[in-house]
């Protein structure tokens, strides 16, 4: 979801007439879309902001924005630790990123954190890295309360996207030449539970998406709680729940998201075996 949010933010800035740049010193806007699943991502954010501080001192007209899960969690703390940040926004108002930057240019630094989405967010333009592959959000949020997981706190309650709207977008993507579609959500297996109040519709949704022509592959992305998947000759599924480090975008009036490699850890660490007898 963090990767897809980055694509949607990139689409918003390009629609505004900006272009991506790899030269941060020439950027008019630097956007950091964050993840807070692991502490290392938090450290990366504040490390990036510390590096940007001297650029902001040299170029006061450059704007810095922070969005995503860590912004939803830390809120005003971000500007307390990095007062040179112009705009802070959470996971429920990605579409307002440009408006917040305009407001910050007029009024000064601004923080806008919505507690949750009132309804499923409308589709936004996306700048996809791979023309043959696309994310397709079917559900956001999670109603589970696992002790180890912060996702419900930063992504809100479960809200499913209307069934026909999803299938319609899948058809549009397939017509445009997309051959791989990833159905995306925080808890994809619960898709439709809030729509029907009876049972999830995820199996039916997968069958409908797999029947769209000419796309050849369908994938799902989210925590897996069941292995009962529809059988379809053109259907393949991978179901993962992964964390990503901070994604940084710099834009020249803005940047394509750079993608630091994901960090994996084994836990618990294996202690070396003793070679001596007791």
- HEC readout, 39-91: HHHHHHHHHHHHHHHHHHHHCCCCEEEEEEHHHHHHCHHHHHHCCCCCEEECC
Q: Record the pTM.
A: 0.72
The region that residue 118 occupies, defined by phi over 0 for left and psi between -120 and 50 for alpha, beta otherwise, is: alpha
The alpha carbon of 109 is separated from its chain's Cα centroid by a whole number of angstroms, namely 23
pLDDT at 27: 93
Beta bridge partners of 65: 31, 87
113-160 pLDDT, tens per residue?
A: 988 877 777 667 778 777 788 889 999 999 988 888 888 888 888 999
Taken in order 58, 64, 69, 74, the sign of the CA dihedral is positive
Cα distance between residue 190 and residue 7, in whole Å: 25
User: Which tokens go with 274?
Assistant: 């003793």
Per-residue CA distances from 154 to 72, 74, 163 (Å): 6, 10, 25
Mean pLDDT of 175-202: 85
How sure is the predictor about 241, in pLDDT bands with cuts at 50, 70 and 90?
very low
pLDDT at 244: 45
Beta bridge partners of 133: 180
Angle between helices 202-210 and 163-175 (to 10 degrees): 20
Cα distance between residue 52 and residue 30, in whole Å: 9
User: Which tokens go with 228?
Assistant: 């009962």
Residue 268 is classified by DSSP as S
Cα distance between residue 214 and residue 202, in whole Å: 21
57-102 pLDDT, tens per residue?
A: 999 999 999 999 999 999 999 999 999 999 999 988 888 999 999 9
Angle between helices 2-15 and 97-107 (to 10 degrees): 60
Lowest-confidence segment of 52-56, 67-71, 87-91, 257-261 by average pLDDT = 257-261
Cα distance between residue 175 and residue 126, in whole Å: 16
Give SS3 for 187.
coil
Chain position carrying tokens 């440009």: 98
Residue 179 makes CB contacts below 8 A (sequence gap 6+) with 132, 133, 214, 215, 216, 217
pLDDT at 201: 85
pLDDT at 120: 75
Residue 143 makes CB contacts below 8 A (sequence gap 6+) with 152, 157, 158, 187, 190
Does the structure show a pLDDT above 80 at 207? yes
Residue 95 is classified by DSSP as G
The alpha carbon of 220 is separated from its chain's Cα centroid by a whole number of angstroms, namely 15
Q: How many residues are recorded in the chain?
A: 278
Beta bridge partners of 252: 19
pLDDT at 223: 54
139-140 and 159-160 strand pairing: antiparallel
Cα distance between residue 27 and residue 152, in whole Å: 34
pLDDT at 191: 92
How sure is the predictor about 257, in pLDDT bands with cuts at 50, 70 and 90?
very low
């Amino acid at each position: 979801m963090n990767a897809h949010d980055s694509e949607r933010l990139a689409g918003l800035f390009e629609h505004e007439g900006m272009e991506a740049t790899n030269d941060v010193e020439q950027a008019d806007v630097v956007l950091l879309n964050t993840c807070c699943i692991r502490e290392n991502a938090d450290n990366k954010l504040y490390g990036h902001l510390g590096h940007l501080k001297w650029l902001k001192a040299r170029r006061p007209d450059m704007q810095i924005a922070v969005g995503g899960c860590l912004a939803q969690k830390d809120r005003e703390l971000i500007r307390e630790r990095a007062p040179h940040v112009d705009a802070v926004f959470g996971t429920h108002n990605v579409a307002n990123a440009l408006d917040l930057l305009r407001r910050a240019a007029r009024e000064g630094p601004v923080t806008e954190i919505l507690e949750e989405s009132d309804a499923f967010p409308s589709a936004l333009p996306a700048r996809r890295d791979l023309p043959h592959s696309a994310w397709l959000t079917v559900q956001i949020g999670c109603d589970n309360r696992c002790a180890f997981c912060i996702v419900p706190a930063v992504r809100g309650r479960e809200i499913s996207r209307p069934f026909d709207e999803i299938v319609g977008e899948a058809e549009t993507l397939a017509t445009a030449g997309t051959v791989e579609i990833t159905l995306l959500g925080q808890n994809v297996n619960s898709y439709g539970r809030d729509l029907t109040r009876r049972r999830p519709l995820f199996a039916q949704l997968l069958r409908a998406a797999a029947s769209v022509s000419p796309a050849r592959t369908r994938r799902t992305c989210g925590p897996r709680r069941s292995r009962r998947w529809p059988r379809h000759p053109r259907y393949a599924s991978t179901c993962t729940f992964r964390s990503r480090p901070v994604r940084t975008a710099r834009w020249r009036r803005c940047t394509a998201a750079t993608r630091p490699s994901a960090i994996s850890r084994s836990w618990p660490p294996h202690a070396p075996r003793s070679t001596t007898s007791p």
